[in-house]
């Protein structure tokens, strides 16, 4: 009789076996199961004196993939993996089950050895019968493959997450570059107007009233603050790992913010003789939102409305206390409108309507608007305006009173 090797399997130890009867004992670190495991091991040691079998003890905490391979639902568990068929003994009465099944297992072992002898006599002495598929070694290989598969899946998830972060940062950089044009243009116009009217000798601004001078200085200062904030956002996105735009919500008056933005864009729409119609109720409730982020939304939507509304056209702005929890804001124009089949896609990053291939607009800015509104748990959508143009709507949460 071959000497039996009774040993515990470590996580890095390769598993080999030549014994005809091969058993795996799965244990865990629970104090409640410790006594039961000790009794099982003691009983198996008693069997060593008479029988030849290979027993390997596996701690599921150290080798969870082996437990997963056998789909174990409880420990301790004793598994006969060879000769086939595989059999699992589990529960609180493993020793009683083992006493019942042991004679049958030995009968199966004798039959297996007899078959091996018969086959060995029929083949060349230099040949060797391959080990059965259900040996302890093959089980360990299967478990290792499962572990490696999980590791590959985890690495793939990390790779996808990193790619998503890089793509997000690229989109934010493109969005900020797009939005920087408006405050840069406004600041440049204000500064150029002041410079062209400044008399170095007298130190006065010619042809400019004091109120207009103060207004232009305020305009330039406000726009430079906006540019500074946008650059800070860009640096924050470059350092962070989040794929959501950071927002700092506070109590704010949406109607007044809209009027401030209209004042900033006045030169744009007056140059095209466009008429602004506003329907913003005075009792429109405060909203809970990031003022600078919502300013970006208004600037982008109004910028597009001005761009696509023909000269002498009309732009509509309306506020609505939609529910007790939501305020709806709408900006419409009488431009060419948005085709029905593209009304969802225009909010995608870099999506361009075919008619806009040689112009700018309805692209990066709308994607940014959607991200900002969604960061506030709001919605943004577009439909056809009453006068045939585009009618953009977005909602924001009401500030709790």
Tokens of 127: 């040949």
Integer angstrom CA distances of residue 238 from 165, 231, 364: 10, 11, 19
pLDDT of residue 241: 52
State the average pLDDT over residues 371-398: 90
User: Is residue 353 helix, strand or coil?
Assistant: coil
In the predicted structure, residue 19 carries a pLDDT above the cut 90: no
Coil, helix or strand for 352?
Answer: coil
Which candidate, 59, 79, 68, places its Cα nearest to that of 142?
68
Q: Do 27 and 140 fall into the same domain? A: yes
233 pLDDT band, cuts 50/70/90, is low
| Dihedral (CA of 256, 257, 260, 262) sign | negative
Residue 217 in any domain: the answer is no
| Residue 323 lies inside a defined structural domain of this protein | yes
We report the CATH number of the domain holding residue 16 as 3.40.30.10
Question: What pTM was estimated for this model as a whole?
Answer: 0.49
Q: What is the pLDDT of residue 10?
A: 39
pLDDT digits (tens, 9 = 90+) for 242-279: 556 778 999 999 999 999 999 888 888 988 999 999 99
- Out of 83, 116, 149, pick the residue that ends a domain: 149
Q: Which of 149, 176, 191 is the last residue of a domain?
A: 149
List all residues 6 or more positions away from 347 whose beta carbon is below 8 Å from its beta carbon: 366, 367, 369, 370, 380
pLDDT at position 145 is 67
Please tell me the predicted confidence (pLDDT) of residue 181.
78
Residues 22, 135: contact at Cβ < 8 Å?
yes
Give me the pLDDT at residue 17, please. 46
Give the pLDDT mean for 104-130: 71
Residues 144 and 249 in one domain: no
Kindly report the number of other CB atoms within 10 A of residue 159's CB atom.
10
Residue 362 confidence (pLDDT) above 50: no
Residue 305 lies in a domain: yes
Share of the chain above pLDDT 90, in %: 26
Looking at 132, 149, 166, the residue that finishes a domain is 149
Rounded distance, CA 204 to CA 207, Å?
A: 9
Cα distance from N-terminal residue to C-terminal residue, the chain: 86
pLDDT at 198 (0 to 100): 84
Per-residue confidence (pLDDT) for residue 204, from 0 to 100:
81
Same domain, 377 and 250: yes
Does residue 178 form part of some domain? no
Same domain, 261 and 387: yes
Does 76 sit behind a cis peptide bond, omega within 30 degrees of 0 on the bond before it?
A: yes
Q: What is the mean pLDDT of residues 124-137?
A: 52
Q: Which residue has the higher pLDDT, 174 or 124?
A: 174
The answer to whether residue 314 is domain-embedded is: yes
Eight-state DSSP code of residue 349: T
Residues 6 or more apart from 364 whose CB is under 8 A from it?
171, 174, 175, 178, 349, 350
Answer whether residue 143 is part of any domain. yes
Residues 6+ apart with CB under 8 A from 103: none
Residue 239 belongs to a domain: no
338 vs 133: which has the higher pLDDT: 338
Q: Which domain holds residue 323?
A: 245-401
Could you tell me the pLDDT band of residue 348, with boundaries at 50, 70 and 90?
A: confident
Instruction: Tell me what the pLDDT averaged over the chain comes to.
Output: 79
400 and 256 inside one domain: yes
**335 lies in some domain:** yes
> What CA–CA distance (Å, rounded) separates 339 from 318?
22
Tens of pLDDT, residues 185-222: 888 888 888 888 888 878 788 788 888 888 888 888 88
Q: Please, is 295 exposed, middle or buried when counting C-beta atoms within 10 Å of its C-beta (0-12, 13-18, 19+)?
A: buried
CATH classification at residue 342: 3.30.565.10
Asked if 272 and 400 sit in the same domain, the reply is: yes
Overall domain count for the chain = 2
- Judged by DSSP in three states, 3 sits in coil
Average pLDDT score over residue span 352-359: 46
* Res 138: pLDDT: 64
Q: Which residue spans within 126-274 are E strands per DSSP?
A: 198-199, 204-205, 250-252
- Is residue 137 domain-shared with residue 15, that is, in the same domain? yes
The Cα 29–Cα 76 span in angstroms is 10
**More confident position, 1 or 152:** 152
Beta-carbon count within 10 A of 223 CB: 21
CA distance 290 to 180: 18
> Biggest alpha carbon distance in the chain?
119
Encode pLDDT of 329-342 as tens digits.
999 998 888 887 77
What pLDDT digit, counting tens, does each position of 283-320 carry? Answer: 999 999 999 899 989 988 998 899 889 999 999 999 99
Q: What local confidence, expressed as pLDDT, does residue 123 receive?
A: 58
Return the pLDDT at 352: 45
Is residue 136 predicted with pLDDT exceeding 80?
no
Q: Rounded to 10 degrees, what is the CA torsion of 105, 108, 114, 116?
A: -100
């Amino acid at each position: 009789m071959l000497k039996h090797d009774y040993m515990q399997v470590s996580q890095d130890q390769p598993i080999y076996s030549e014994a005809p009867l091969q058993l795996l004992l799965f244990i865990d670190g629970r104090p409640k199961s410790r006594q039961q495991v000790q009794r099982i091991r003691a009983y198996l040691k008693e069997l060593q004196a008479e029988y030849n079998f290979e027993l390997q003890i596996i701690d599921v905490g150290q080798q969870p993939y082996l437990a997963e391979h056998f789909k174990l639902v409880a420990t301790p568990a004793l598994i006969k993996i060879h000769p086939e068929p595989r059999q699992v003994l589990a529960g609180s009465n493993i020793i009683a089950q083992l006493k019942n099944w042991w004679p049958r297992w030995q009968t199966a072992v004798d039959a297996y050895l007899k078959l091996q002898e018969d086959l060995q006599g029929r083949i060349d002495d230099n040949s060797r019968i391959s080990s059965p598929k259900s040996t302890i070694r093959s089980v360990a290989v299967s478990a290792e493959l499962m572990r490696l598969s999980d590791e590959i899946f985890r690495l793939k998830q990390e790779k996808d997450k990193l790619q998503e972060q890089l793509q997000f940062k690229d989109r934010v950089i493109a969005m900020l570059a797009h939005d920087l044009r408006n405050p840069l243009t406004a600041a440049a116009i204000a500064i150029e107007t002041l410079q062209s009217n400044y008399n170095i000798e007298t130190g006065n601004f010619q042809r400019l009233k004091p109120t207009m001078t103060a207004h232009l200085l305020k305009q330039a200062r406000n726009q430079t603050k906006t540019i500074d904030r946008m650059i800070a956002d860009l640096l924050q996105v470059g350092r962070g790992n989040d794929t959501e735009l950071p927002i700092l919500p506070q109590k704010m008056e949406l109607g007044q913010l809209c009027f401030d933005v209209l004042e900033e864009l006045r030169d744009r729409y007056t140059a095209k003789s466009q008429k602004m119609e506003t329907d913003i109720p005075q009792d429109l409730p405060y909203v809970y939102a990031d003022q600078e982020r919502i300013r970006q939304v208004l600037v982008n939507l109004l910028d597009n409305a001005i761009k696509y509304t023909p000269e002498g056209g009309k732009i509509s702005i309306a506020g609505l206390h939609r529910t007790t929890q939501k305020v709806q804001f709408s900006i419409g124009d009488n431009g060419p409108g948005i085709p029905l089949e593209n009304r969802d896609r225009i909010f995608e990053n870099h999506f361009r309507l075919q008619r806009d291939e040689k112009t700018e607009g309805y692209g990066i800015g709308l994607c940014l608007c959607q991200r900002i509104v969604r960061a506030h748990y709001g919605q943004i959508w577009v439909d056809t305006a009453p006068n045939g143009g585009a009618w953009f709507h977005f909602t924001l949460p009401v500030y709790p009173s």
